[in-house]
A and B are shown apart, each in its own frame.
Chain A
Amino acid sequence: MIYLQLLWSFIQIGLFSFGGGYVALPLIQEQVVNIHGWLTLQEFADVVTISQMTPGPIAINAASFVGTRVGGILGALIATLGNVLPSFIIVILLALIYYRYQSLKVMQGILTGLRPAVVALIASAGLSILLHALLGDSGVFSWFAVSLFVVAFAIMRLRKINPITIIVACGAIAVALGLLGVPL
């Protein structure tokens, strides 16, 4: 039963993550955190963190991580299978259509409409990770997190630093201040 739920959840994530990159984030969050409660929001943020620092697409990483969490190695295999199944079928269909008609006009229209919505959905997922970081599990507003976010965001916007550097630096600052006894 749990395996069927995993399979179906990740089929949906794979089926609707048009445009690559972060598009899978809001879909994963909806399925894994909101609908099934397989991960807490902090754990979801941690999976995204781990995904940023390891090779491989976020959706596959999340599928493997969540699958292992919920159903061991078999769970990981099933979730990952579900995640790539829609891609596999649709990519081959599109290739056949393209070789026959030399055009994918309808897909271009769909992607044009999806682009602005996708930006909004990623913003929404990013915002919930941010709010969780600012408020924490306790719901108490963290001045540490607010200052760290403002400074890191400004640096990132001004100087296009490697994302991994920013993430690791934020983690290191939190550990250093935490060990010094600063309330995080």
Chain B
Amino acid sequence: MDLVAIGQSAPGPIAVNTSILIGYKIGGVAGALTSLLGTVLPPLIILTLFSYLYTAIQNNRIIKMLFYGMSVGVAVVILDAVASLAWAVSKGKKIIPIILMVAAFIATAVFKVNVVLVLFCSALIGILYYSRGRKE
């Protein structure tokens, strides 16, 4: 397993995790902090500027139309990714992951169950499922 695999196992964006690992490998904790700073600084600066800009122009009529149209586009992009991910889960033809997916969707979309609780329960099921699967 390489650095990317460790980066994927930890929570948080993979780019951030991988940069922490590479920094750590090269220069210990100080190296990790430095490369983390390098990864986070550009989006931090860009989005801080965007935040001020957005607040200043968000009530402009044309900007409103633009963002309204783009929010439809964002829904398209997210649901397209969801369709591909859901297809990948279903393709495994294992019943438990599919049930888990449907149940988690109903829990959050219909019953507004706390997202963290859903993640926690699925992680537990994952550990049980994985340890049972390995014994067979």
Contacts and interface: CB of A to CB of B under 8 A. Distances in A.
Interface of A: 12, 14-22, 24-27, 30, 42-43, 45-46, 48-52, 54-62, 64-69, 73, 76-77, 80, 83-84, 86-88, 90-92, 94-95, 98, 104-130, 132-133, 136, 145, 148-149, 152-153, 156-157, 163, 166-175, 178-179, 184
A170 B89 CA distance: 29
B44 A60 contact: yes
B76 A152 contact: yes
A157 to B, nearest CB: 6
Interface residues of B, number: 86
B36 A133 contact: no
B84 to A, nearest CB: 9
Interface of B: 1, 5-17, 20-21, 24-25, 29, 32-33, 36, 40, 42-48, 50-52, 54-55, 58, 61-62, 65-83, 85-86, 89, 97-98, 100-105, 107-109, 114-116, 118-119, 121-127, 129-131
B91 to A, nearest CB: 12
13 contacts: A49-B71, A50-B47, A54-B50, A83-B12, A98-B6, A109-B126, A118-B119, A123-B79, A125-B78, A129-B71, A129-B78, A145-B68, A171-B67
A126 B79 contact: yes
B90 to A, nearest CB: 9
Contacts of A118: 85, 119, 122
A130 B8 CA distance: 28
B73 A166 contact: yes
Contact of A174 (B58, B69, B79): B69
A133 B118 contact: no
